[in-house]
Structure 1
Amino acid sequence: MNRRKKGKNRKIFKKESRSNYKLGCIITIIILIPILYGVYLYCQGIDTSQKEKPQTSTSFQTSSDQKPENKKPEGKKTKGTKSENNKSGGKNPTTKELEIPVSLTRRQEQIIHHTGYTVSYNKDLKLPNWVSYELTRKETKGKEKRSNRFITDPQVRGLIATNTDYAHSGYDKGHMAPAADMKWSPQAMKESFYFSNMCPQHPQLNRRGWKNLEEKIRDWAIADSAIIIICGPIITRQPKTIGKNKVVVPQQFFKVILSPFVKPMRAIGFLFNNKQSVEPLSTYAVTIDSIEHLTNMDFFAALPDEIENKIEAEADYFQWPN
C-alpha cells in the first residue's frame, strides 16, 4: 500500500516539475521577446545613424580631387545663376560666408584657417589660390610690431616655398594678407609671414601699387567700420618659376573688396600686372565680374542675387572714401 502511494507521489511530482519547467520556459520566452526586440531596434538605430551621419570638415582639407558641385558655365558670369547652396536663405550672410569664394573649376587646394586670415593653399603652385580676411576699424589700431620673419606654414601638407627660393630671384615676398593688417594680435602677425601667404611680386608692385591699395583699404575699414578682402594671384598656362622648389610667378594679382555694413552696400575689384605699378589706384579699379571671369571664382556668393549682381558690376573708385 505504501509503495503504491509513493509511486503515485513520484508521478505527481514529475508532472508538477514538468509543468513548472514548461511554465518557466514560457515566462522566460515572454520576457526575452521584448528584450531581444529592443536590442534589435537599438542595433538598427546605430547602423542607420552611421549611414546618415554627414561628413564633418576639419579646419583644413584637400579638395583637388573633388569635382565642385553647382558649377556655373565658365566665361562671363550669367546673372541669376548663383549657386543656391551658397545663399543664406533670406538671412543676412555671416562674415565667414562672405570671405570664402566659390571655385567654379577644379584646382589643387588646402583650406587653412589662421588667426587673422583664411588661405586656399596650392601645393602644386607653392602659392595661395586666394587669401581672405575681414579688417575692422578696431583692428587697424593694433600696436604689434612687424616681425619680418618669413617661415613655413606648419599646417601645409606638401611642398612650400622657402627663403632660398626667393633669394636673388628679382622678386619680393609679397604678402596677400598684409602684416600691417595683423597688428592686433602677436599670433596673427606671426602667421602673416607664413609662406602660404606669399607670392613672388615685382618689387615696384609690392612696394608701390599693392602697398598703396593696402593702405587705402585700412582707411576704408576705419571709415566703414569693417571691410572684407579677398586677394590672390592669377596664373597663365605657362608660368615662370623661381628657386629649387619651382615657385610659380603669377602674371597678375587681384583684390576684391566688400563693404558690407554701409548703405547701400558697395564692392570693387582691383587688377594689377606683376610689374612696376605706380599709377593712381583708380587706374587699377575693375568690376568684380571681370575678376570672376579671370579667376573662375564666384565672390560674395552668399549675398542675395539682386545685391551681388549690382555691386559686382560696378567699378567706381570715387564712390569710396578718399
Structure 2
Amino acid sequence: MQFLLILFLSLTFVACGDKKETQQKTIDPQTTQTEEVKKPQEVVIPDLELPKITEKDQIIKHTYYTLSYNEEYEQANWVAHKLTKKMTEGDVKRKDNFREDKKVKTGSASLKDYKKSGYDRGHLLPAADMKFSKEAMSETFFMSNMSPQHKDLNRGIWKKLEEQVRDWVEIENELYVVTGPIFGKRNKRIGENDVAVPPFYYKAILDYTLPERKAIAFVMPNRKPPKRAKLRNYFVNIDSLETLTGIDFFPALPDSEEEKLESWFDRELWGF
C-alpha cells in the first residue's frame, strides 16, 4: 500500500495535465480555393468503453454496463459504461435495492458482508447516471457493482467527481467511463466473503466527440479526504493509470489516437 501511494504521488506530479501548447495549422500556399482541408470525422466505435479483456476476466454484462468480476477480491476490477446526456435527465428515484448478482458464476459479495463493517457500499457505476430508467437504476444496485469505500470519500470528493462527470456529459453529450478499485499486496478484508478494501479508486473518462477529443483519469485514496480537497488534486493521464492498474483502457481506439489521448490532457479543456 505504501508503494502504491509513493507511485501514485510520483505519477501525479510528473504526468498529470500540463497544458499542451496549441499548434497552429498552416495552409499550403499552393492549395487552391476549391480544395478543402481535411477535418476529423465523427466515428462510431463499438464497445469503446471496454478495457482490454484478458483470459482472467469474468465478464458480466448488464443492460447498460459491463464489468470484470474479481473473485479473489469479491468485487469488480472495472465497471465500464457509455454515458449520454439523456441518461442523466430522468426523474427515477433511488430505492436502494441492494442484492447479489446472480450472473456472477462464482457468487458475488453479499449485503451482509458490508453490515457493520464501517465502510459504505460504494457504487462504481453511480445510480444517478441511470436516472432515465427504473430497470437501469435497479441494475446499479447489484453487489458486483459495489466496493467498500470510506464514508467520507464516498459522500465527499468522490461524489463530487461523479457529479462532475454528469456535468461534463451535459456539455459533451456522450462520454465513456471506466471505474474501479486499485488493490495493494495486502488488503483489509470485511465480511464472510472476505471482501477486499482497496487502498485507491480510479475513474477514467473519454470524450470521443468532436471537435476536441480528450481523455482524463482520477485516482483517489480510500480514506477521509482533506477538507479543502479539489478534483484537480487527483487527476492523472490514462497512461499513468494504466501503470498503476495494469489495465489497458480504451484499446478500441486507433493506435495513433490512443497514444495521443492517453499520454496527455489539457486542463483547460476539462475546465481546470
Q: Same fold (TM over 0.5)?
A: yes
- Rounded to whole Å, the distance in 2 between the matches of 1:203 and 1:166 is 12
User: Structure 2: which 5+ residue stretches go unaligned?
Assistant: 1-41
SS in 2 for 1:275: coil
The answer as to whether partners of 1:95 and 1:134 remain within 8 angstroms in 2 is no
Q: Distance in 1 between matches of 2:58 and 2:90?
A: 29
Report which of the two structures shows the higher radius of gyration computed on alpha carbons: 1
- How is 1:171-250 mapped onto 2 (pairs within 5 angstroms)? 171-250=119-198
Alignment partners' CA distance in 1, 2:161 and 2:267: 12
Secondary structure, counterpart of 1:156 in structure 2 = coil
How far 1:95 moved relative to its partner?
Answer: 4.2
Structure 1 Cα separation of the partners of residues 256 and 225 of structure 2: 34
Instruction: Output the CA distance in 1 between the equivalents of 2:254 and 2:112.
Output: 46
Q: 1:271 aligns with which of 219, 225, 232?
A: 219
Query: Structure 1-normalised TM-score?
Result: 0.68
Residues 53-94 of structure 1 show CA distances to partners (whole Å, capped at 9, x for unaligned) of xxxxxxxxxxxxxxxxxxxxxxxxxxxxxxxxxxxxxx9452
Q: Point out which structure has higher relative CO (alpha carbons under 8 A, 6+ apart).
A: 2
In 2, Cα distance between the equivalents of 1:170 and 1:95? 40
1:123 to 56, 71, 77: 71
Residues 1:306 and 2:271 aligned together = no
Report if aligned partners of 1:136, 1:221 keep a CA contact under 8 Å in 2: yes
Please list the CA deviations of residues 113-133 of structure 1 after superposition, one character each: whole Å capped at 9, or x if unmatched.
112211111122110010000
Matched with 2:95 is 147
CA 1:280–1:316: 2 relative to 1, 3 Å: farther
Whole-angstrom CA distance in 2 between matches of 1:318 and 1:172: 33
* TM-score normalised over the length of structure 2: 0.80
Shift of 1:277: 2.5
Q: Using the TM superposition, give the Cα deviation of residue 193 of structure 1 relative to its aligned residue in structure 2, in angstroms.
A: 0.4
Residues 1:319 and 2:263 are matched in the alignment: no
Asked whether 1:100 is paired with 2:85, we answer: no
SS at match of 1:294: helix
Q: Report the CA distance shift for 1:160/1:317 in structure 2 as closer, same or farther (over 3 A).
A: same
Secondary structure of the residue that 1:193 maps to in structure 2? Answer: coil
Asked whether the 8 Å contact 2:206–2:216 carries over to 1, the reply is: yes
Q: Call closer, same or farther: CA 1:178–1:239 in 2, change over 3 Å.
A: same
The CA deviation at 1:301 is 1.2
State whether structure 2 residue 117 is matched by structure 1 residue 166. Answer: no
Distance of 1:256 and 1:145 partners within structure 2: 26
Please provide the CA RMSD for this pair. 1.8
Q: Which amino acid aligns with 2:234?
A: Y
Aligned length: 230
- Counting aligned pairs with the same residue, the percent is 44
Alignment-derived partner of residue 22 in structure 1: none
Which of 199, 220, 233 in structure 2 is aligned with 1:283?
233
The CA distance in 2 between the partners of 1:263 and 1:283, in whole Å, is: 27
Match of 1:114 in 2: 62
Q: Between Structure 1 and Structure 2, which shows a larger proportion of helix residues?
A: 1
Offset at 1:103?
4.8
- Per-residue CA deviations over 1:248-304 (Å, capped at 9, x if unaligned) read 111111110000113221000100111123510011010110110111111111112
Match for residue 199 of structure 2 among 227, 251, 254: 251
C-alpha deviations, 1:217-272, integer Å up to 9, x for none?
A: 00111100101100101111111110111001111111100001132210001001
